[in-house]
Amino acid sequence: MLNEYINYLKSSTKEYSKCTLKAYEPNVSKFLQWLKERYNENDSYAITTLDIREYQGYLINIKKYAPAGVQQRIMSILSYCRFLYDKKYLKIDVTANFKLIQVQSKDTAPSAPSTNEINRFKREIYKKNNLRDIAIIEMFLNTGIRASELINLDIQDISISKRKGMVHVRQGKRKKFRDIPLNQDVREALNNYIKEVNPQNKLWIGQRGILTQDGINKMIKRYAKKVNLDTKIYPHAFRHYFATRLLRHKKIDIAIVSKLLGHFNLNTTQIYVKPTFEDLSDALDNLNI
């Protein structure tokens, strides 16, 4: 039944991101496993509203997940149950009037690595002189591109001349297309990599063929671990660093930053101008009582 549901999502006219699809399957699978252990129930046809409500309490009180994490897991289960109801596998719509846990908007900006931490990380990569890895990191740091966007780039998506360059993001979030200018650091890193590897179609080549997102994650973690930053450096942290640096340190107009990040509205970008948790801690550390 779960496989049928996942195939339905993949073929649905509604666009689901790869990250969404990757999360939905384990979320539903863990709920079904909990249902089996709790009530010895193996039948998806027997799911009730009470089961989902109890599982939501289990995630909050026993697993201690944050509200956003609980909401994401329950939304996966509700989606699965709607599928079962639409297919007539469930006789009752258990999702009707179900109340999700309320998630307040974040009051602090996402935590981003410091400039010192980024420099330590970059130095480790430049020491190894792996031209592909250097180009990837310079792309992350100087364009704010998402890992899912970067990994889908073709060689034709890169345009470079002596004085300017452009990356054409054709597979952005929700299929949104955007162009991002490339500064000198990225242009130089990309030119060096392309001259060495000469990719024909996909831009990023790994040891066993086309580089995957998992391959990028492992590469970044490997370098970060060597400088004891494996808990602070990861692909999306570069995006936080990029946005924070432009908005808070370079004082770039928020509309420009929003466009570069590929956000659909300014409210999403606005979070980066809020104080970080580190800002709040520093304020109290400097308080003389």
Q: What is the mean pLDDT of residues 113-131?
A: 96
Burial class (CB within 10 angstroms; exposed 0-12, middle 13-18, buried 19+) of 202:
middle
| 277 shares a domain with 142 | yes
Active-site annotation holder among 187, 239, 240, 245 = 239
Which whole-number Å values give the CA distances from 91 to 33, 41, 44, 84, 88, in the listed order?
22, 17, 11, 9, 6
Q: So what's the pLDDT on residue 280?
A: 78
Catalytic residue among 122, 170, 263, 274: 263
DSSP one-letter code for 108: S
Q: Indicate whether 47 and 177 sit together in one domain.
A: no
Residue 1's pLDDT is 84
The confidence score (pLDDT) of residue 15 equals 60
| Over residues 110-124, mean pLDDT | 93
Annotated active-site residue 272? The verdict is yes
Query: What band does 109 get if pLDDT is binned at 50, 70 and 90?
Result: confident
Would you say residue 101 lies in a domain? no
pLDDT beyond 60 at 13: no
% the chain with pLDDT above 70: 93
To the query of whether residue 239 is one of the catalytic residues in this protein, the response is yes
Q: Mark whether 277 and 155 lie in a shared domain.
A: yes
- Reported as a single tens digit per residue, the pLDDT across 210-226 is 999 999 999 999 999 99
* pLDDT over threshold 60, residue 105: no
Catalytic residue among 132, 146, 187, 240: 146
Instruction: List the domain range (segments joined by +) for residue 228.
Output: 115-282
* Chain mean pLDDT for the chain: 90
* Tens-digit pLDDT profile for residues 19-56: 677 889 999 999 999 999 999 988 888 999 999 999 99
Looking at the predicted structure, is the pLDDT value of residue 107 above 70?
no
Count structural domains, the chain.
Answer: 2
Indicate whether 22 belongs to any domain: yes
> Is 81 in the same domain as 122?
no
How many Å apart are CA 56 and CA 19, to the nearest integer? 22
Residues 119 and 241 in one domain: yes
131-190 residue pLDDT tens: 999 999 999 999 999 999 999 999 999 999 888 999 999 876 766 789 999 999 999 999
**pLDDT at 14 (0 to 100):** 66
Among 168, 173, 221, 222, which one carries the catalytic annotation?
173
Q: CA separation (Å) from 276 to 108, 178, 250, 263, 270?
A: 5, 28, 17, 20, 13
Structural contact between residues 139 and 158, judged by C-beta atoms closer than 8 angstroms: no
Average pLDDT over every residue of 241-266: 92
Specify which residues 154 forms β-bridges with. 202
* Model pLDDT, residue 17: 67
41 shares a domain with 154: no
Q: Report the alpha-carbon distance of residue 219 to residue 136 in Å, rounded.
A: 10
**Domain at 201, CATH number:** 1.10.443.10
Does 208 participate in catalysis according to the annotation? no
Residue 108 within any structural domain of the chain: no
Question: Is the predicted pLDDT of residue 102 greater than 80, yes or no?
Answer: no
Strand partners, 65: none
Backbone CA torsion sign across 162, 163, 168, 173: positive
Residue 104 has pLDDT above 60, yes or no: no
**Domain shared by 181 and 58, yes or no:** no
Is 218 a known active-site residue?
no
* Domain CATH code at residue 58: 1.10.150
pLDDT for 159 equals 96
Question: Which run of H or E residues covers position 116?
Answer: helix 115-128
pLDDT digits (tens, 9 = 90+) for 18-29: 667 788 999 999
